Amino acid sequence: MQTELFKTLSVRENERARYALIGGKTSRITVVFDAYWRFAAERQAVYFRRLNGTFPATADPVLGRFKFTNAYRILDRTTQYLVRNVIKEGEQSPPELFFRILLFKLFNKIETWEFLVTHFGELRFADYNFERYDRVLTAALQDGRRVYSAAYIMPSGGPNGESKKHRSHLKLLEKMMRDNVPQKLGDLTSMRDGFELLRSYPMIGNFLAYQFITDLNYSALTNFSEMEFVVPGPGALDGLKKCFPDMTPSEAAPLIRAVCENQSEFQHQLGLHPIDLWGRPLQLIDCQNLFCETDKYARIAHPEILGFSGRTRIKQTFRMTGPISQPVFPEKWRLVQPPELTRA
C-alpha cells in the first residue's frame, strides 16, 4: 500500500507545487485532482440522499445547478433502464440478449426503445424485419422525434450506403447477428478480446466499443472484470489534463488505472469516507467517467485550469425528475444490498 501519496515540493523561490505518487511515478497535480475525489464522494452521497428521499440533496452550488452523471456508471438512469427493462426482460438466449442490448445502445434513448415496443411489442431478433423497423423509425423522424441520445456521438455511414443513420445502424446490427457475434463473445475470456471484436465493425471506434462491451457485460452473455482495461474518452482526457497538467494522452489509461487502484488511499488522505456501492469500489470505467464529469465540474469551480479542448461551459442544467427507483444490478456482482433492493 502506498503512503504519503501527496507531496508539496519547493520548485523555486516563493513558489511551491503539489505532486502525487501515482503508479510509482511522481506526477504534478492541481487542485482539480482534489476536486475529483470530493466531487465523486459528494455525487455518490447525492445519489444515496435522493434514494432515501432526503432533500435538498446537496449544498454544493455546482452540483445543485448542473447535471452530472453518477459516480457509478450503472446508477445512471439510462443504464438502470437497460439492466431492468432490456436485459432482464425477455428471452435470455445469447442471440436475443445481444440483439436487445445493441438495439437499445445504438440509439441509447429510452424513448426510442419504448416507441419501438409500442409498435412491435416484445423486441426479438426472431421477429425482426429491417423494412418494418426502418418504416417506424423513419416516420418518427418525419414527426420531429429525436431517436438518438445526445450522450454519445453516433457516427453514420459505413459500407452499406444507406442514406439515413438509423438504417446504417440497423444494417450493422444485422451483420453482427449474421456473423454470430453473440456466440463469439460468449466464447471469449477477455474483455479486451470482446472490445476488439466489436471494434472490428464499421462505425464502432474505440470509445463506443468500450461502452458497448461494458453494457453487454451487465448481462449473462459475458463475465468479464471491469478492472481489466480502460479506454479514456475525450471528456476524460480533458479531466485528466486538468488534474495532471504535464500528462500526455498516451499516459491517460495508466493514470486512470493507478488512480483507481489507489482510490481508498487518496480518499483517506483527503479525509473522505471511501466511496463504495454496497461493497463494490469504483471500477476503471467509473473512474474514467468521473474524470469526464470532473472536467465539466472544473469549468465552473476552477475555470482558470484548462484541459485539451479548452471548453468552458456546461450545457445541461439539473432538473429534479422525482424519486429514484431502487437500483438493480447484475446478479454476478453479488453485492451485499439491503433486502428491499431488487436484483437483476
Report pLDDT digits (tens) over 247-265: 999 999 999 999 999 999 9
96-118 pLDDT per residue, tens: 999 999 999 999 999 999 999 99
d(CA 108, CA 87): 14
133-187 pLDDT per residue, tens: 999 999 999 999 999 998 877 777 655 556 689 999 999 999 999 999 999 999 9
Report the chain's mean pLDDT, rounded to a whole number.
Answer: 92
Question: Residue 9's pLDDT band (boundaries 50, 70, 90)?
Answer: low
- Which of 296, 218, 217, 229 lies closest to 256 in space, CA to CA? 229
Average pLDDT for 23-46: 95
d(CA 73, CA 83): 12
> What pLDDT is stored for residue 165 in this prediction?
93
Question: Residue 342's pLDDT band (boundaries 50, 70, 90)?
Answer: very low
d(CA 182, CA 187): 9
> What pLDDT is stored for residue 2 in this prediction?
42
> What pLDDT is stored for residue 10 in this prediction?
54
pLDDT of 24 > 60? The answer is yes
* Cα–chain center distance at 273: 23
Are the C-beta atoms of 220 and 172 separated by less than 8 Å?
no
Angle between helices 234-243 and 252-261 (to 10 degrees): 70
pTM of structure: 0.92
Q: 163: left (phi > 0), else alpha (psi -120 to 50), else beta?
A: alpha
Domain extents in the chain: 6-73+233-333, 93-216
